[in-house]
Amino acid sequence: MNRHKTFTNSISLISFLLTLNFSSPGQFAQAASPETAPATLKSLLTQIDTASSRGDLKAVMQYYSSNFTHGDGLNRQTMEQALKSFWQRYPQLRYNTQLKSWESQGNAIIAETVTTITGLPSANSSNLALNATIVSRQRISGTKIISQEILSERTQLTSGNKPPQVEIKLPPQVKVGQKYHFDAIVQEPLGNDFLLGSAMEETITPSKYLKPTSVDLELLSAGGLFKTGLAPNTPGSKWVSAVILRNGGMTMITQRLRVVK
């Protein structure tokens, strides 16, 4: 293995484009259980999952309001551009959304959901397999998604016949200006293998969804990555990622870190 490699991938794009559940931030009344949800809401989530699994961009976009907004700054146009690019690279994704809770708010419904996405290796994705879980809160009016806030997300990409098994330790949120620890620990024995790896932190902005991120991999002296970060002085969200490569495969994990007051 080379001591130094550059790994380029759409880390930020992957982190977001795996979810089609949308919401707006803010407080609302105590949510009801999924069992009592309107049949129209359940049907809508199923239809979005089905269209997304087919990679049917036109069908998916019909569920987006023309005034769609997102907590990370995206709008309907940038969402469509990002989905098109992403599905071209990962054409075999499967979406499954489970409703956690819901609440009526005027003429809209606020629903919290958990979406899991799996993707099998394909030639278009450089033989990458994908697995992601996203928790989000969405505002829906009729059959249109009005706005979104992602509450948490975790995305894992693997390639090769023996990708390293990696455990990530990262708090879900920290306060502004607070130090935090980020560990990515390889679980199995290394034997005679060398590890290459890198950790990175990205402030989430609309442009990050559309541009690939380059990562410089360095030779690791231990069985993983062990980093200390410092949260910014303003609230927001970051993607924190670890990329680890060994003889036989690669694993990349990205998690969202919320920075709060």
- For 30, the 3-state DSSP assignment is coil
Please state the domain count of the chain.
2
Question: Are residues 59 and 180 located together in one domain of the fold?
Answer: no
Q: Which domain holds residue 198?
A: 4-11+156-260
45-50: Cβ within 8 A, 24+ apart = 45/21, 45/97, 45/99, 45/111, 45/113, 46/97, 48/20, 48/95, 48/97, 49/20, 49/95, 49/96, 49/97
Residues of the chain with pLDDT under 50: 1-29
pLDDT of residue 125: 56
- Out of 118, 153, 188, pick the residue that ends a domain: 153
What angle is formed at CA 72 by the lines to CA 47 and CA 140, rounded to 5 degrees? 35
Rounded CA-CA distance 102/112 in Å is 6
* DSSP strands (E only) in 44-126: 64-70, 93-105, 108-119
pLDDT of residue 213: 78
Rounded CA-CA distance 102/109 in Å is 7
Question: Are residues 27 and 127 located together in one domain of the fold?
Answer: yes
Q: What sign does the CA torsion over 214, 217, 223, 228 have?
A: negative
pLDDT of residue 110: 96
Question: Are residues 49 and 135 located together in one domain of the fold?
Answer: yes
Question: Are residues 197 and 230 located together in one domain of the fold?
Answer: yes
- Among residues 96, 97, 64, 94, the alpha carbon closest in space to that of 82 is found at 64
- Out of 153, 184, 217, pick the residue that ends a domain: 153
**Tokens at residue 131, please?**
């697995």
CATH of the domain at 227: 2.60.40.730
Question: Are residues 111 and 192 located together in one domain of the fold?
Answer: no
Rounded CA-CA distance 152/116 in Å is 12
- Out of 153, 186, 218, pick the residue that ends a domain: 153
Question: Are residues 28 and 145 located together in one domain of the fold?
Answer: yes
Residue range 72-94, pLDDT digits in tens = 999 999 999 888 888 887 888 99
**Tokens at residue 18, please?**
């795996």
Question: Are residues 128 and 187 located together in one domain of the fold?
Answer: no
Question: Are residues 60 and 137 located together in one domain of the fold?
Answer: yes
Element (H, E) at 226: strand 224-230
The DSSP 8-state label assigned to residue 209 in this structure reads G
pLDDT of residue 76: 95
Tokens 């958990």 appear where?
114
Question: Are residues 112 and 81 located together in one domain of the fold?
Answer: yes
Question: Are residues 217 and 131 located together in one domain of the fold?
Answer: no
**C-alpha count within 13 angstroms, C-beta hemisphere, residue 180:** 20
pLDDT of residue 56: 96
- For 40, the 3-state DSSP assignment is helix
Concatenating the DSSP letter of every residue in 106-168 gives TTEEEEEEEEEEEE---GGGTT-EEEEEEEEEEEEETTEEEEEEEEEEEEEEEESSSPPPEEE
Question: Are residues 115 and 18 located together in one domain of the fold?
Answer: yes
Question: Are residues 114 and 209 located together in one domain of the fold?
Answer: no
CATH of the domain at 122: 3.10.450.50
